Structure 1
């Protein structure tokens, strides 16, 4: 029965990819992105960088040399590029996982299965959790670094609570279907459940490598952003 958890694992892996990949660098700053500026609050105090490389630190304008200005320009541009990329990549994989699992459920349980509704509900709730890490605003994005651990924990709780209902629905629907087919109902039920688990396992295997690649790239980009932040801060001293 534990293999049924692959349903949740597939969605959770995508939904928390931006939060849950084991990376040597952990973000220590909140980031607020708008057209006029990028604000970085945390390990370096309160930094504000404009697209032209003007810098404020803790409310004070900082005079920077040309090299530091260019580093500041590059850093804010990288934040504008990488945070949306991470957010979109995680959302795309969550949607891909949902579609793949929905297809398995339709094949094994039918279009009217209540498991489909549970999948859709879980997908929606995981996306809400993702928005706590990278919040979408009308004028940009806000990255909340302290939400990472909370989202990981609550995402796992969402999956676990949903799994119980999905497994129970699967058993009920398979039992009802088998009731009119004769034969050994328990043996047939376990065979059908095993087939469902195998299909989910196969889908997980298909997507696991992509999740791993995405996790590696997220880590690479987070590491690069941290190196750029440190380089800018050094130039402000």
Structure 2
């Protein structure tokens, strides 16, 4: 039970939905619950899901490029199938298919795998942008495939993929409200479902949720831009 519900039960009169457009006292009352939902669910799913997506996406991209054509086709088909299926459908199917897992774990896995398919395409484009001369140089130096990928190909590919990878991380962050489909009360679900549904005041809760999203995503976009410039300068 949120502190808002406790306050509503203890108050002599319920929150007035017909009051002013913005009530600062009400906004300050719900802010701790909003921040807690952000830290417990929205941020956890975004950070963990992004790590999974970044690593798995790179693995998918490499597999598509190095596996024999029949196996590469299977990997590509599976990736396309996941990418073209709505994430909310994937959440619901896995939630009911793996009832022994908690909803937060399901959410992290689905977001990580779903966005890995997008990042795989970004990685693939970055790998294909590596000049052919770099590949030929590694062959001339008798470098083994693992060292070629680790020392030459992947570092160069990352320089051109950082902006797109960062944009997908921000997109994942903004897609976390879909977690409502499996019963995870993240920040927007709390704002619209519990707070708005209990008090019939949506302005403060929805506005605070939007401001928290902005406060988290805008600095992230700036950091990604700076990282891109630093990598370009290092190159």
Q: TM-score, normalised by structure 1?
A: 0.29
Which is richer in strand? 1
Which is richer in helix? 2
